[in-house]
């Protein structure tokens, strides 16, 4: 099972803005002055150009105005794609916490089903029971080792996590993660990233010693070089990264300029042993939307 891809999907937004429904448990969101929608489009288009300049194939799906979907720019939460050991292409559809985010998924489904998938895992029915599992926001995947890392939150149900793992053939490493105020981290991909040979993780956000030990032990056992980030760096989206591979086989790691500027020289050096850093300026998107560079990319396998 490949860890990385050179093909991604991104959604160009129409109604990007502060989402009141998700702000109840995403403390990374902030309200800014009017005009953020146009600024977000400029940042989005620049991000797409940067990825393409680095050899990544980017499919752009243009969002439509109705129904309004202020978070459509973060498509990785509502679906994921996988290539299993038998070479089968798998599509997973996820139950979302916020009602107004469920429309994002429904808009995308006609586009996704034009592609050829050998199997579809549809978890949407669990929304009726108030359960959520928000794609590769909830799940940070070591695809090669078949391990799913997940911090528990209102957006990540343990029952659904286990069901997903059973259907997809993954081991689960679950834990609790909090910010400096003791607030649960809303998505796992805010506090950690797993690449081919490294892992970026905010170890301090996992206060339970047994959970912390299991998390670190799992990463070490799979040969990852751990780049430990602080709670302040997590707040600046240093955990929200994604490794991609361009057609020439070069590995790149995508993070925002905000995240890049938060890293120490030592942390940067550890990453650059294995990957080249690509850092778009998406300040308005991450400030208002509460998600960063990784959240804007849905990997296509």
Contact 68, 76 (CB under 8 A): no
Residues in the chain: 301
Residue among 108, 267, 123 at smallest CA distance from 193: 267
Please give the pLDDT value at position 293: 98
Please give the pLDDT value at position 107: 96
- Using only C-alpha atoms, the chain has a radius of gyration, in whole angstroms, of 17
Q: What CA–CA distance (Å, rounded) separates 298 from 136?
A: 8
Rounded to 5 degrees, what are φ and ψ at 244?
Answer: -130, 165
Q: What CA–CA distance (Å, rounded) separates 193 from 151?
A: 12
Q: Compute how many other C-beta atoms are within 10 angstroms of the C-beta atom of residue 278.
A: 19
Average pLDDT, 10 consecutive residues per value, the chain (301 residues): 95 89 82 83 98 98 94 97 93 96 96 94 95 98 98 97 97 97 96 98 98 98 98 98 96 98 98 97 95 98 96
Residue among 104, 107, 114, 109 at smallest CA distance from 92: 109
Indicate the pTM of the whole model. Answer: 0.95
Rounded to 5 degrees, what are φ and ψ at 255?
Answer: -150, 165
Strands (E), 177-300: 192-194, 198-201, 225-228, 242-245, 251-254, 276-278, 298-299
Please give the pLDDT value at position 21: 81
Classify burial at 164, counting beta carbons within 10 Å of its beta carbon; exposed 0-12, middle 13-18, buried 19 or more: buried
Contact 108, 11 (CB under 8 A): yes
Q: Which of the following CATH numbers is that of domain 7-299: 3.90.105.10, 3.40.1280.10, 2.40.170.20, 3.75.10.10? A: 3.75.10.10
């Amino acid at each position: 099972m490949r860890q990385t891809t050179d093909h991604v999907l991104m959604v160009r937004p129409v109604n990007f803005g502060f989402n009141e429904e998700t702000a109840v448990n995403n403390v990374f969101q902030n309200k800014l002055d009017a005009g953020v929608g146009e600024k977000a489009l400029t940042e989005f288009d620049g991000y797409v150009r940067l990825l393409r300049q680095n050899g990544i194939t980017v499919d752009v799906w243009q969002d439509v105005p109705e129904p309004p979907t202020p978070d459509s720019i973060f498509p990785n939460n509502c679906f994921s794609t996988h290539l299993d050991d038998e070479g089968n292409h798998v599509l997973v559809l996820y139950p979302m916490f916020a009602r107004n985010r469920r429309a994002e998924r429904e808009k995308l489904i006609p586009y996704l089903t034009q592609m050829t998938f050998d199997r579809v895992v549809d978890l949407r029915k669990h929304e009726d029971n108030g359960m959520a599992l928000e794609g590769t926001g909830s799940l940070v995947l070591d695809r090669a080792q078949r391990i799913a890392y997940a911090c528990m939150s209102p957006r990540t149900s343990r029952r659904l996590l286990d069901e997903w793992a059973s259907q997809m053939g993954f081991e689960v490493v679950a834990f609790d993660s909090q910010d400096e105020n003791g607030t649960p981290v809303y998505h796992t991909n805010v506090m950690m990233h797993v690449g081919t040979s490294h892992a970026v993780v905010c170890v301090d956000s996992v206060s339970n010693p047994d959970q912390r030990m299991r998390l670190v032990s799992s990463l070490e056992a799979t040969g990852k070089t751990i780049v430990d980030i602080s709670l302040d760096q997590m707040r600046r989206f240093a955990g929200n990264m994604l490794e991609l591979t361009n057609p020439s086989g070069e590995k790149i790691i995508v993070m925002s300029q905000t995240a890049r500027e938060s890293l120490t020289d030592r942390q940067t050096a550890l990453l650059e042993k294995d990957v080249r850093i690509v850092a778009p300026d998406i300040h308005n998107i991450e400030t208002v939307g509460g998600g960063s560079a990784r959240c804007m990319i849905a990997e296509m396998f």
